[in-house]
Structures are given as structure tokens and as C-alpha cells.
Chain A
């Protein structure tokens, strides 16, 4: 077998394997367009229907949970950025002897197992009336994402050529001007990727949401998990709800592909 044939073969194998990996997702999307009674049957050809989508999105509480997810995810991402960016700025441009160990501590808080704090969090939330509230979930997800923001944004800031900033400081720019006109424009792509990752993590989170909310502030992850006992014939409709649930994150992840690695490793791998 010559080199060219081998290359073509490898390419075909790669594509085939990636289709196999993607297949469960594809199958779910397909099922969402099947009629309810053929929901789980392994047939590839059928007359598509939108009835499941209609039923799943409009004939249920889906939209309420979607609203909760959007609100909690959006606000927690925003607050995480507002808290994280100034900290990243300080630690990137005004490092002290303790900055390195502070950064490691920040990372360790991200890796703290949620089960280590779920019990006290539940008790504290109960005493402060934060159980099953949007505010409570926003606080938890902000805490979950701030370390990520600090690590990622700082690593992007460290790439800003320091001479530019030094020159500007010689000219006596204020902090606001320096950040707004110099630093932020240079790190916009990184900032966007950071926001997308916060969004992905908060959107997909289940453990905190499941234990700290009951219904009013429950996000989609809790809603979907409530179908764990349903069998067979609900599948078509559940597929529609699940597809709608994962679609925003799939798109966000596809868009942020390049920065995904940086985000997943807290900037350790770029």
C-alpha cells in the first residue's frame, strides 16, 4: 500500500470514527422528529413531525425552566467577569511575592469537590432563605466560575506587550483609560472565550442545582433529570426537550473551539 492510499484510508477512518462518536447526539435529534410511537425504534426513514417539539416546548413547563437557566447562567457569567477581570488585572500587572501562591489557591477553590461544601451550603442557604432562589444559584455559579475567569483572563493579559502599557503610563493615562483603551481591546477574543466557558459550565451544572433548588429556581438540568424514570414512548418528546437544552452549549462550544483547551485547563495549556 503506498503512502497516498494509506493517507486516504486514515482520513476515511477518522471521519467514520467521528461520526460514530457523534452518533448518539445525531440519533437524539432525529428521534425528536419522529412520531411518538416510533420514538425508540431504530428506523432511519420516517415522515418527520414537529409535534414533539410543540409538545415539549409549549405543552410543558420547559419554557419556565429555560428562563431560569438563562437568567442564572447569564447573570452568574456577567458577575464572574465583573469580579474576575479586576482581580486578573491586579495579578497580571501588579504581581507581588504572593501572587503565584494566590493563583494556585484560586485554582484549588475551582477544584474543591462540590460534595465538600454542599451540606453547609444547604444549611446556610436555608437559614438565609436562599434555597430555591435565583440569587442563591447565581452566587454559587459565580463562585464556581470566578477562578476560571481569573486564570484565563490573567493569562491573556500577560500576553499584552508590556511596552505599550508602560508608554501609556508615561503619558499619564488613568486606570480606566488604560483598561478601556489598551488592555480590553487586545483581550476581547480571550474575554469572549472566557464568557462562553463560564456559560457552558453554568448551563450544564446539575449537582448544586439539584440539591439547592426544588422548583421555582430550578434550571433545565434538574428538569431533564426528572424524566429519569420515564420509559419508551415519551422518548420522542424528551428528545426534543433535550435537543433544545443542549443546542446553545453545542453552538457556544463549536464557536469557542480554539479557546476550549485554554479554558478547560485554566490556562495551563494554550
Chain B
């Protein structure tokens, strides 16, 4: 064997070993995510309630049909939808506004930016406790204090406007997320493009509509789709603020699954519900991945 083929074969061995470095990690990921999901699928076709652990048998699609036929199913889907869409719209408007305001050099910008990202860093459960007690409380909340001081009647926010309260709280928390991504997008816009458009006589609105918005398109898509994927999983805020009530007026899919699994102990029904949630999330994820593939990477020079 000549010198060169020998080193080649050992190089091939090195390459194979180094490529193999991802195998343990990917195996771990399969064990902690795919195997539980396979179990969820399996349970979803069985009849298993932890209250009566004896009789377990195959019942086909019955868990799924029971879920869809339940009179609470569509209201819960609707709540989940309303929560996601409302938060997306509110955070988009506010996030865009803040991103545009922050995309100008001025003294105090670092401070403004630091203050603005803070809501996103607060533990969601603390956010819920904070909004519930400080802002929304019927007796001592600041919102009612403000209403009273201008002579308006007080509102029992969490009872009368449960969903609106949750939407406001979650929007406060997620506005910084949208703002940060749009700000990254704005900062990747070449100055020369803006200057050229300015010289052509484009004013504020035209600049925004025909230069900034098209440039931001993929940033907006990524921000909003990712946001939806996370908002679909909102649980802590609802648990703390409203417990899904009054009635089921603020119950979303995760909260319903929690109730079925851990308050009714209906393992199979909850598993089937979980499978539905995964299907919903996957539909949104497909759009997300398509954008990512078209876009490859949106790199911004800092």
C-alpha cells in the first residue's frame, strides 16, 4: 500500500467517527420526544382511565370521536384560535411600532431597548400573578383605580373579560419577541437603499409601505409563525389567572388537556387530545419550514 492511500483510508475513518458524533445526541432526542409521542398515539386508541386501571382495551377512534362530539370541543378550539390571533395582531402592531422607534440612533436607546425586552424575560407565572394582582384586581388593581379616578365604573376584569385579560397579559409578554426580530430585520436594511428612496422623494408612509415592509416580509413571517407555535402552548397564565373560567370561557387546548389528564385521569382521552394538538402545531410548522427553506438564513451584520 502506498503512503497516500493509507492516509486516505485513515482520513475516511476519522471522517466517519466525527460524523458519528451527532448520533448519541439524536438518539437522546428520539428517546425523549418521539418515543413519548409514539406512546401518546398508542394510548389514544385505548380505553384507559387511571381511576379504573383494570379494564384497558382497544377502542379504535372512539377517543377522537368523543372529543369532537363534545359540546365543549369547538368553543375550546375557538378560544385557542382567538387567543393566538389576537396576540399575534396586537404584538405585531406594537412590536412594529417599537422596532421602528428603536431603529433610530438617539441617547437613551440602549435603556429603552433594555426596558422593552424585559417583559419577555419575566417568568410567565410571575407575569400572570403580577397582572392578576397589580393591574386587573377588582378591588385594588391599578386599572380600576385609574377608572375610578376619572369617574368611570369599576370592572371585574377576570370575571367579565377573562379572555381579554389573558390576551392583554400574553401580548405584553410577547411584544418584545416580535420587536426584537423586526428590529434585527430593520437593521439589516442597507442604508443606501433608504437614502436612494429618500432622494427619489419617498416620504414616511411610502418608504414604509414599499421599501421597509417588503424587506421585512420574511422576518415578519418567522416572528409570527414562531410566536403562534408558542402561544398555542400557553398554560401557566391561564392556570394562574382564570383557571380556564368562568366556565370554559378562557379554556384553551393545553388547559383542557391538563384537565382531562390530571383532574379526570382520563389518560387515553388526554393522549388523543395531545395528538390533535401536535397535528395543529405541525400544520403551522410546515409553513414555517417552507419559509426557512426558501430563505435559508437571514443573516444580519451587527
A200 to B18, CA, bound (A): 31
A106 neighbours in B (Cβ, 8 Å) = 26, 29
Closest to B291 in A: A268
Q: Which of A12-20, A49-57, A58-66 is found at the contact surface with chain B? A: A12-20
Contact between B129 and A238, CB atoms less than 8 A apart: yes
- The yes or no answer to A181 lying at the interface (CB within 8 A) is no
Least Cβ–Cβ distance between A113 and chain B, in angstroms: 5
Least Cβ–Cβ distance between B183 and chain A, in angstroms: 8
Give the residues from 228 to 270 in chain A that come closer than 8 angstroms, CB to CB, to chain B.
228, 232, 235, 238, 242, 245-246, 249-250, 252-254, 257-258, 260-261, 264-265, 267-270
- The yes or no answer to B194 lying at the interface (CB within 8 A) is no
A114 neighbours in B (Cβ, 8 Å) = 233, 235, 254
A246 neighbours in B (Cβ, 8 Å) = 121-123, 126
A245 to B298, CA, bound (A): 34
- The yes or no answer to A188 lying at the interface (CB within 8 A) is no
A250 neighbours in B (Cβ, 8 Å) = 118, 121-122
A118 to B254, CA, bound (A): 10
Contact between A115 and B126, CB atoms less than 8 A apart: no
Closest to A143 in B: B32
Checking A13, A143, A203, A253 against B120 with a beta-carbon cut-off of 8 angstroms, the contacting residue is A253
Interface SS majority for chain A: helix
Contact between A14 and B102, CB atoms less than 8 A apart: yes
Contact between A242 and B130, CB atoms less than 8 A apart: yes
Contact between A228 and B235, CB atoms less than 8 A apart: no
A26 to B235, CA, bound (A): 25
Contact between B29 and A109, CB atoms less than 8 A apart: yes
- The yes or no answer to B207 lying at the interface (CB within 8 A) is no
A270 to B20, CA, bound (A): 28
A110 to B48, CA, bound (A): 28
Interface SS majority for chain B: helix
A228 neighbours in B (Cβ, 8 Å) = 128-129, 132, 239-241, 243
A258 to B295, CA, bound (A): 22
A143 neighbours in B (Cβ, 8 Å) = 28-29, 32-33
Contact between A204 and B101, CB atoms less than 8 A apart: no
Least Cβ–Cβ distance between A27 and chain B, in angstroms: 6
Contact between B21 and A119, CB atoms less than 8 A apart: no
- The yes or no answer to A168 lying at the interface (CB within 8 A) is no
**Residue of B106, B118, B223 ringed by the most chain A CB atoms within 10 A:** B118
Contact between A22 and B118, CB atoms less than 8 A apart: yes
Checking B129, B219, B285 against A269 with a beta-carbon cut-off of 8 angstroms, the contacting residue is B219
B285 neighbours in A (Cβ, 8 Å) = 108, 111
Contact between B108 and A93, CB atoms less than 8 A apart: no
Least Cβ–Cβ distance between B97 and chain A, in angstroms: 8
Contact between A200 and B121, CB atoms less than 8 A apart: yes
- The yes or no answer to B248 lying at the interface (CB within 8 A) is no
Checking A112, A224, A252 against B123 with a beta-carbon cut-off of 8 angstroms, the contacting residue is A224
- The yes or no answer to B289 lying at the interface (CB within 8 A) is yes
B227-247 vs A, CB cutoff 8 Å, 1 = contact: the mask equals 001001101100111010000
Contact between B118 and A121, CB atoms less than 8 A apart: no
A112 to B254, CA, bound (A): 13
26 A-B residue pairs with CB within 8 Å: A11-B107, A17-B101, A24-B135, A24-B172, A27-B134, A87-B21, A87-B26, A93-B18, A94-B18, A94-B19, A96-B19, A102-B22, A109-B33, A112-B33, A113-B278, A116-B40, A116-B275, A118-B257, A120-B39, A140-B32, A146-B28, A206-B125, A225-B240, A245-B126, A250-B118, A250-B122
The 6 closest A-B pairs by CB, nearest first: A120-B39, A143-B32, A87-B25, A116-B278, A253-B121, A40-B140
**Interfacial residues, chain A to chain B (CB-CB below 8 A):** 7, 10-11, 13-15, 17-19, 21-22, 24-25, 27-28, 31, 40-42, 83-84, 86-87, 89-91, 93-94, 96, 102, 104, 106-109, 111-124, 139-140, 142-143, 146-147, 150, 155, 175, 200, 203-204, 206-207, 210-211, 220-221, 224-225, 227-228, 232, 235, 238, 242, 245-246, 249-250, 252-254, 257-258, 260-261, 264-265, 267-270
**Interfacial residues, chain B to chain A (CB-CB below 8 A):** 14-15, 17-22, 24-26, 28-29, 32-34, 36-37, 39-40, 43, 98, 101-102, 104, 106-109, 111-126, 128-135, 137, 139-140, 142, 145, 172, 175, 177, 180-181, 183-185, 219, 222-223, 226, 229, 232-233, 235-236, 239-241, 243, 253-254, 257-258, 261-262, 267, 270-271, 273-275, 277-278, 280-282, 285, 288-289, 292, 295, 297-300, 302
